[in-house]
Structure 1
Amino acid sequence: MPILDIDKLTNEQKIRLFAYVTEEKGITYEQLGISKATGWRYKKGLREIPKEVIEKVLSFLAPDEIARVVYGKKIEKADINDLLKVINTTVEDPQFRSLLFMMLNRFLGEYVKQNTNSYAVTEEDLKLFEKILEQKSKATKEERLRHIKYAMRDLSFSLSPDSLKEYIVELAAEEGPNVARHRANTLKLFIKEVVMPKNPILGQMLYNSFKVPRVEYKYSPPPLSLELLKKIFNSIDHLGAKTFFLILAETGLRVGEVYSLTLEQVDLENGIIKLMKSSATKRAYISFLHKETIEWIKKNYLPFREDFISKYEKAVQQIGGDVEKWKLKFFPFQLADLRSEIKEGMRRVGKEFRLYDLRSFFASYMAKAGVSPFIINVLQGRIAPGQFKILQQHYFVISDIELKKIYEEKAPILLFSNPSAIHKSVVSLLTSLNTDSGM
């Protein structure tokens, strides 16, 4: 089938295509089924180029070449209305659909692959799962529903191979293999009964992406350095993913916690992240942001975020999304997109690891800086429910000030080196030089 509608091409566009094929691509007139004299007339515009000749010309060109020759290097950007037209045409026209998928595979193959590996869980999916569980005993049903509820909250209702794998690893490390095993079994059941019937290929991929932990299961995170994380941060292009990685590295919070943050929870004026929640498995308390990080977010990320929302608000509304809730998200992007961009940054640096490993990095970095395990657990939401309750009821007003001071002095920072550390290094260097010179 033709790449574009030849009847809608202007004579000038046809001449450009013809000239490009014969002069730049080296295709002979004989290959096009015409004489040299006829080819010369086509180029000079003395004779209109027939449709059958243009079809042969197009057969020698890739879609990107056709677009570049016909429309020039700069093609006008499509808007939401254009996207909806493409979707409607794709649904109604099998030939157009075939062409669209061919071009997507050619130009966005890897990106499409990464972003079609996720499944958005709907309210209908959860109702169906609850209905399926009616066949189980009451105790089993309640247990499965409890675990799927926690899983959906932690995974932000989005399932992907990477997120599932990291999630089970995190649970096994922090909550123990028993909790991780029950959660994994519940997720596998959900995928098998709900996802697979709707999307067999994706369902199988999700089902096989993680294992059910055994009791002796133990995961050892790789050693990470602050310098490595700085390099990765600088290698990430997408400002949303860059900010997501920055907050994960500098707070040691869970991926789901950071992704679920709302604008209200991120107090940039006071540098506080207000998680303040407690449950059977998550006891997040409070975290903070460095002054340099706040300034960077205000200068770079917030304008980018506002532009993104302004650009895609209409699209979210048209697909039936909760626009107001979406606009309140601190990260209004797809989690799969953020992960993909961060992974690409890691590949450029030559070191790939799980986002969950940033949590381990934060804990070990703070411990090496002399911070007590209890404070680290408070900052990362790992304290026991009883201790959490005591802190909430009696010590929060004092502890937030103390915690912030500890954080500012000890927590890792990716954007700039610690001024005090620089000062000490300079003093040490000058002392050394003075000693060597005999002063």
Structure 2
Amino acid sequence: MAGRWIEIWEPEDETFWREKGERVARRNLWFSVLSEHIGFSIWTLWSVMVLFMGPEYGIDPAGKFFLISTATLVGALVRVPYTFAVARFGGRNWTIFSAVSLLVPTLAAFWVMEPGTSYGTFVAVAALTGIGGGNFASSMTNINAFFPLREKGWALGLNAGGGNIGVPVVQLVGLLVIGTLGASHPRVVLGVYLPLIIVAALCAALYMDNLRPVKNDTGAALEAVRDPHTWIMSVLYIGTFGSFIGYSFAFGLVLQTQFGRTPLQAASLTFIGPLLGSLIRPVGGRLADRYGGARITLATFVAMAAATGVVIHASGTASLAVFLTGFTALFVLTGLGNGSTYKMIPGIFHTKALARGLDGEAAAAHGRRLSGAAMGLIGAVGALGGLAINLAFRQSFQASGTGTAAFWSFLAFYGVCVTITWAVYLRRPAPVPARAQLGYAEV
């Protein structure tokens, strides 16, 4: 696929960044956000479609949870190949392709979304929407290469946050359709997104660039797989992004199933948490840039555990107002944690490069090389956290008719994340060479 290629890219060079790099990087960031935003909307499409699926569809709550779990699973799995596609085909070129490919699940859903369609067909189409989840991985890998280390927290937080807003936006579109036309017109939601997908692809073609220095590095990928920090950060990312996407998929269905909300009532509430969680994600990145990603991440997990305790109490007492308060707080905290954990990843590998005796551009290049390879894997494993949340809800509702047991399991996991963050990144580190002044607390 032909496209514009930038042959030399040195973002850590302050003169290059000031004279050319910042302008080009920011332009690519904005249009990357647009494409990723539409990708998130399509990935989470079935969190809205299930609200339209009344008794005439013949699908019980467990079946609906399985539909959204299927989309979550596929979205997690495709993140790995999407990460490496950026270096193989170019960030601009892959953004065009990945945007256009969203037409497939959207048109398929438009075709089958009616009573009488077999459950197996719905599962297959829900699986197709999972490709929208891959857009996040390719977008983050691409933007990571454009920005210098000192601005990665902000840039990656903004990129991810702008993409995540695709979740509440598709839910708002669903709310508008249900509120004006009723719950029997799901195809209107799909019709809204078909032209938007084309716009995102055209904008990528017209305004984005490929970076020639970004290449797939099998050695870096293997080194990232062997590095324990890749897997440690994967666990933490399950707690932040996995929670965000899992709750985004399940929130409306929980309100309908546990609290007896109508489709309109559920849709009017589900968008608030994902919207706030998306908007605050860049703030998490900025706070991590200033105070250190590990410190912000630890505080976030402590607060998430507290908010989960509130939700458990509300679930047990059937208090909708308290439940909504606790759940909305969880969304906000996952957004903060998303920003801070993605700041930590390049910082960790840069710190390790300094400890190995590298400095200057050599250390920065080594950090970019390994963090780029690690991000796809961390993003994929983190997204599987969303699958775990959906399956936990499915099992909890099947067993007891409420989500209380699922929330207890989430509380235990956040406790594990608190322990890991403190033990690995915030205890006093072992002495390192003088040039490695950046400690893990600042990553």
Higher helix share: 2
Task: Normalising by structure 2, report the TM-score.
Answer: 0.26
Looking at both structures, which has the greater relative contact order when contacts are Cα pairs under 8 Å and sequence separation is at least 6? Answer: 2
TM-score of the two chains, using structure 1 as the length reference = 0.26
